[in-house]
Amino acid sequence: MATPWLIVPRKRPSFVIIKLITMTNTYNIAGTDGNLMVPVLNETGSLMAYLLYPDPTGILQELYSCMAISRQYPGHCQAIPRQSDTNAGTWAGTFNKAASFLHNKAFGYTGEPIFQSFIHSLKPKKMAKSTTTSGSSADRIKNDPAFERTRENMAEFGRAGKAAKLLRSIFRDVTINAKDRVTQARLAKVTSRIITTDPVNERGARTVNNGDLQQLHNFHFNARAGISDSLFVRCPVNFNRVSGEVTVDIPVFVPRNMVQQARGTTHFRIVAAAAAINFDTERYEYAMQGTPELPFTTDPTQATTLTLPLPANSPDTVVAVLGIEYYQRVNSRSYALKSGEHNATSIVLVDKVA
């Protein structure tokens, strides 16, 4: 039997076309044109629509008008007299059989919901709630011997995250425009590796201070650009622990040739910063210096040395970074360019007491 369609009158002369999924022929009624139709009643028993069968090609040739049907019917059918609807016109068109719509308040001739069983099958199944709770309580993780390895991992991961956050805070002024969205995660990954190289403490008690801090060398705060990707000039970095000075020597160079241009750049400057850091106590000493804004031209620059004073004979680890910042000058005022593709700051020195 062909798939039926449900025609629901709405604001005249428009109709709502609803395709039925299942239907029996128990209450079919013969229409005046020989096709079959079934009355659909609402909760109050009023006629609200007809069920029509499309022809074999899937096209409804005529939209039934609401009218009394006077002809002889089989014993199991009856006529539904209604006032003629003069606004009901002729409709022809092809239906997309892939679209299915349901009218959940449609009732058959006997008053039973047509879609009762189908609607019930569409309702999501609720899983039975377990009497036992899943997962582990915080108290169990803290005290159960079975979670000893978990507690060790959590302790070391916490130290790694604090060390990464400390580095970001220290060098914030030179990385504010030279970072990415996952800088903290990338830095925490490095500090986690450093903790695992601690040869002194037992598992769970290892620290960043005792690990191989040289793994921080060449870390790019902006993953899209390291200092060597934006500044093609070799700038030697030196540290004297006795005096506590970190120096960065910048040679003569032609900006147009040796600096990666960011869109809209008229000026740039090179910045350096250094800090003596104790990752256990989170105490540090910091120094920062940069060149003046240099024009982005073909004129050679002057040789410059950036000096960063730190405490003499410091027992802490010294970390130095080098970066480049881009500017656009308009009416004698400079505006920092937040170019994520070229603003760069990288760790260029890590010195730890032997």
Q: What is the pLDDT of residue 8?
A: 46
Q: What is the pLDDT of residue 170?
A: 96
Among 56, 89, 124, where does a domain finish?
124
Q: What is the pLDDT of residue 189?
A: 94
pLDDT band at 127 (very low <50, low <70, confident <90, very high): low
pTM of the shown model: 0.60
Residue 243: pLDDT over 50: yes
Tell me the pLDDT of the chain averaged across its residues.
75
Q: Is residue 133 part of a domain?
A: no
Query: Domain range holding 34?
Result: 1-124
pLDDT band at 39 (very low <50, low <70, confident <90, very high): low
Same domain for 117 and 145?
no
Quick one: average pLDDT of 280-296? 95
Q: Which of 178, 176, 302 is nearest to 233 (CA)?
A: 302
Instruction: Check residues 247 and 130 and name the one with the higher pLDDT.
Output: 247
- Angle (CA) 344-347-348 rounded to 5° is 105
Same domain for 224 and 314?
yes
Same domain for 218 and 79?
no
Domain count, the chain: 2
Same domain for 144 and 289?
yes
pLDDT band at 1 (very low <50, low <70, confident <90, very high): very low
Cβ neighbourhood burial of 132 (10 Å; 0-12, 13-18, 19+): exposed
Among 124, 153, 183, where does a domain finish?
124
Q: Is residue 104 part of a domain?
A: yes
For residues 175 and 221, give the distance between their C-alpha atoms in angstroms, rounded to a whole number.
Answer: 7
Instruction: Check residues 348 and 124 and name the one with the higher pLDDT.
Output: 348
Q: Is residue 132 part of a domain?
A: no
How far apart are the two ends of the chain, measured CA to CA in Å? 89
For residues 327 and 264, give the distance between their C-alpha atoms in angstroms, rounded to a whole number.
Answer: 8
Residue 165: pLDDT over 50: yes
Q: What is the pLDDT of residue 40?
A: 61
| The dihedral formed by the CA atoms of 154, 160, 163 and 168, expressed in degrees to the nearest 10 | -110
For residues 202 and 179, give the distance between their C-alpha atoms in angstroms, rounded to a whole number.
Answer: 34
Instruction: Check residues 338 and 295 and name the one with the higher pLDDT.
Output: 295
Instruction: Report the share of the chain in percent with pLDDT over 70.
Output: 62
Instruction: Out of 115-119, 175-179, 219-223, 276-280, pick the least confident.
Output: 115-119
**Helix, strand, coil percent values for the chain (each to nearest 5):** 20, 25, 55
Q: What is the pLDDT of residue 88?
A: 41
Q: Is residue 129 part of a domain?
A: no
Q: What is the largest CA-CA distance in the chain?
A: 115
Q: Is residue 6 part of a domain?
A: yes
Q: What is the pLDDT of residue 151?
A: 84
Q: What is the pLDDT of residue 35?
A: 56
State the residue for tokens 């062909």.
2
Q: Is residue 168 part of a domain?
A: yes
